Amino acid sequence: MLRVGIVGFGFMGRMHYAQWKALQGAEVTAVCDANPNIVQDTKKAVGNIAGAASGVDFEALELFSDYNKFLAEAKLDAVSISLPTFLHPNFSIQALEAGLHVLCEKPMALTLDECRKMMDAAAQSDKVLMIGHCVRFWPEYAETRKMIADGRYGRVIAATFQRLGTAPAWGDWFKDDLRSGGVAMDLHIHDTDFVQYLFGMPRAVFSRQAKAPAGGAIHIATQYMYDDDKVVVAEGGWGMTPAFGFEMSFNIVLEKATISYDCTRTPAFRVCPVDGETFTPQVASGDGYSIEIDHFARTVAGENPPQVITLEESRNSVKIVLAEKESAEEHRSVEL
Ligand SMILES: NC(=O)c1ccc[n+]([C@@H]2O[C@H](COP(=O)([O-])OP(=O)(O)OC[C@H]3O[C@@H](n4cnc5c(N)ncnc54)[C@H](O)[C@@H]3O)[C@@H](O)[C@H]2O)c1
């Protein structure tokens, strides 16, 4: 039985908890959160999520507010780190040094230097460090990558990606660029990372961003430049009205088909081939979170599942987003 602890029990910590709970062969035995009211606050928050299957069984959990004590006393094999982003590096490194496997939420860190320190700590330990870029595991996104990689529909001509919603209402730290990296590093990086997963590192990026009256960026759109002439654009925003809700979507134009996904539409996933009828491909069951956690658990167990994400790629996604932010600030394209 893999003994798992969750560090940071907010929105994503509870998500990790639910996924680990559903996985056979693993057990969440401890939680570390600095919030002294975490039990009451969790009950409130879980009650607000429509369809949340069950609350959290705090009776079965050892609760810690001190991370050093948690690492020393909880007798864990692995941790899920779902803390505000600026805390990812130090907390991940400490867990690796304590001999634990680490699944750390995206983005890896806010600077390349911190990413490098995390990679060094992983290299010096015999434990797994994986960054939770869940979109790589999202069934429709994973299936799309397969369809592009095997060349069945020919070359990609154009690809556009959107991720649009409201700013997270639950954590003040999101509004602080120094703690979250802002909309580009927190939200839009999902699509930046998927662009990298599909097409590799771009040669350059050109971005524009819009700022809210209070000053912070709320919307970014980037063109990713490759050596060939395909058009690749991703747009991320958290300035939508609450009534808009949330959209993650893409349209990928290939020589012999258009592949389209929009989580707000039914059917969400469509392949429209040049010859034949539009159809919705079969995809893996579950969602990006459950498949990602299953993948991490199998990696930790030494099952060697096909590699989906490396630390170098996780770092490169941070590198691309930093270039996007520089491009947007300086109104020029930035080479990578
Ligand atoms: N993969 C995804 O789809 C996705 C979605 C949302 C957020 N995230 C990422 O997950 C991470 C967490 O986001 P969130 O929305 O869960 O944030 P959150 O604010 O809801 O939760 C953070 C939790 O960490 C706790 N915390 C803060 N400082 C701490 C400390 N020093 N020690 C222990 N606990 C501490 C807070 O009390 C809080 O409970 C971020 O990096 C974010 O980018 C990923």
pLDDT of residue 246: 96
pLDDT of residue 284: 95
Residue of 322, 287, 312, 325 lying closest to 136 (CA atoms)? 287
Nearest atom, ligand 1, residue 132 CA = 1
Which residue's CA is the nearest one to ligand 1's atom 28?
Answer: 34
The predicted model scores a pTM of 0.96
pLDDT of residue 107: 98
CA of 174 to the centre of ligand 1 (A): 9
pLDDT of residue 55: 79
The residues, any chain, with a CB within 8 Å of residue 243's CB and separated by 6 or more, are: none
pLDDT of residue 132: 98
pLDDT of residue 49: 46
Write out residues in the chain with pLDDT < 50, as ranges.
Answer: 49-53
The CATH superfamily assigned to 136-290+316-335 is: Dihydrodipicolinate Reductase; domain 2 (3.30.360.10)
pLDDT of residue 41: 85
pLDDT of residue 50: 43
Summarised one tens digit per residue, pLDDT across range 310-328 is: 999 999 999 999 999 999 9
Structural domain spans, the chain: 2-132, 136-290+316-335
The domain defined by 2-132 folds into Rossmann fold (3.40.50)
CA of 54 to the centre of ligand 1 (A): 20
Pocket-forming residues, ligand 1, beta carbon under 6 Å = 8-13, 32-35, 67, 82-85, 87, 105-106, 132, 134, 168, 170-171, 186
DSSP single-letter state for residue 180: H
pLDDT of residue 54: 56
Q: What are the φ/ψ torsions at residue 96 (nearest 5 degrees)? A: -60, -45
The residues, any chain, with a CB within 8 Å of residue 133's CB and separated by 6 or more, are: 106, 190, 193, 292, 309, 314, 317
